[in-house]
A and B are shown apart, each in its own frame.
Chain A
């Protein structure tokens, strides 16, 4: 490499600017593709952006921590964005209150199904115990899920990845599943998406409508709390036979 270009690369790869810019570029490119595909849920913007960035990091041999030095500024906004979910929630609260019983029933059933089925299926097909435990909180928003995985003895950074994969799967597939099951109520569709697929499902739900999004946001918050309380009690009972 030309020494000046090498110097430039040394500078850029040590500065957070590059990781941050690449994250925003990859996401905007992914949005463009999503639009070109007629906003189809199959062309999920998170999936496309992550695939592009992974390919780039592997091709240039850039370590993840170097990339994350810049990307952390975007990652940080997850906190305030979670707080901001209170606004649509407040605006849709009349509808939520009218559906209190279905909301609580759906939450409990969905939360238990998410954790127990993930661990049971992984165990059935021979996943290692650490992987099984990392899967248990996969339907919960990233920061809560990582905390739960740590307490269970899973691998928190693996959990973060599995959480995002779960979010993408729900965002991609939910519309087809709901149509197949003839679930038409937008509140129910949003809430189920939030329980199964946390923030990415919620992001998808907001693309559909404000009301769908508000129910997804509610589901995400409530599922985080219920899973954090129940799963550390349930999984050890279940997991002992596994290992």
Chain B
């Protein structure tokens, strides 16, 4: 587990250095993910340890959003003032995004491989 965790942190660090060094709009961890993906493609897959550690970490991905979500206490006044536009915007835009993405993909999947996704 220790070696795998170290590996993840190294990829994050390298991603961070590249993103800041080249002033890219993409955050370090996302670049780190792309770099690890390339590394996995080169060495034909993760070792057992990296596989179990990633699995454990991703199993509880939801937990990692709890601290930032709790930050809503700082914005309670604004939320109370603008709750209607906020609520409508979040709900309608999320529904639209899910629907537009899924329907676009389905239409394109049918065109590229007729019958396969029917």
Residues of A within 8 A of B (CB): 23-24, 26-27, 44-46, 49-50, 53-54, 57-58, 64, 67-68, 71-72, 74-75, 77-91, 93, 98-99, 101-103, 105-107, 109-110, 113-114, 117-119, 121-128, 131, 135, 138-139, 141-144, 147-148, 151, 155, 157-158, 160-170, 173-174, 177-178, 181, 183, 185, 188-189, 191-193, 195-197, 199-200, 202-204, 206, 213, 219, 221, 224-225, 228-229, 232
Main SS at interface, chain B: helix
A-B contacts, 28 of them at CB < 8 A, read A27-B66, A50-B66, A54-B72, A57-B70, A80-B8, A80-B29, A81-B61, A82-B29, A83-B15, A86-B36, A89-B33, A105-B104, A113-B101, A118-B93, A121-B88, A128-B82, A131-B86, A141-B30, A143-B29, A148-B25, A164-B72, A166-B90, A168-B69, A185-B106, A188-B117, A199-B65, A203-B58, A229-B25
Residues A221 and B98 in contact in the complex (CB < 8 Å), given A127-B86, A161-B72, A185-B109: no
Residues A80 and B25 in contact in the complex (CB < 8 Å), given A109-B100, A118-B90: no
Residues of A within 8 A of B72 (CB): 50, 54, 161, 164-165
* CB-based contact A127/B93 at 8 Å: no
* CB-based contact B27/A192 at 8 Å: no
Using C-beta atoms within 8 Å of the partner chain, give the interface range for chain B.
Answer: 35 or more
- Complexed CA–CA distance, A173 and B95 (Å): 8
- Complexed CA–CA distance, A169 and B65 (Å): 14
Residues A181 and B29 in contact in the complex (CB < 8 Å), given A121-B88, A160-B71: no
Instruction: Give which listed residue, A50, A131, A229, contacts B78 with CB less than 8 A.
Output: A131
Query: B84 — nearest CB in chain A belongs to which residue?
Result: A125
* CB-based contact B97/A206 at 8 Å: no
Residues A206 and B58 in contact in the complex (CB < 8 Å), given A78-B64, A224-B27: yes
Residues of B within 8 A of A49 (CB): 63, 66, 69
Residues of B within 8 A of A85 (CB): 33, 54, 58
Known interface pairs A77-B57, A164-B72, A224-B30; 16 further A-B residue pairs with C-beta atoms within 8 A, sorted by A's residue number: A54-B70, A82-B33, A83-B33, A84-B36, A88-B58, A102-B109, A107-B101, A139-B97, A147-B27, A161-B69, A165-B90, A177-B99, A181-B102, A196-B94, A196-B97, A199-B65
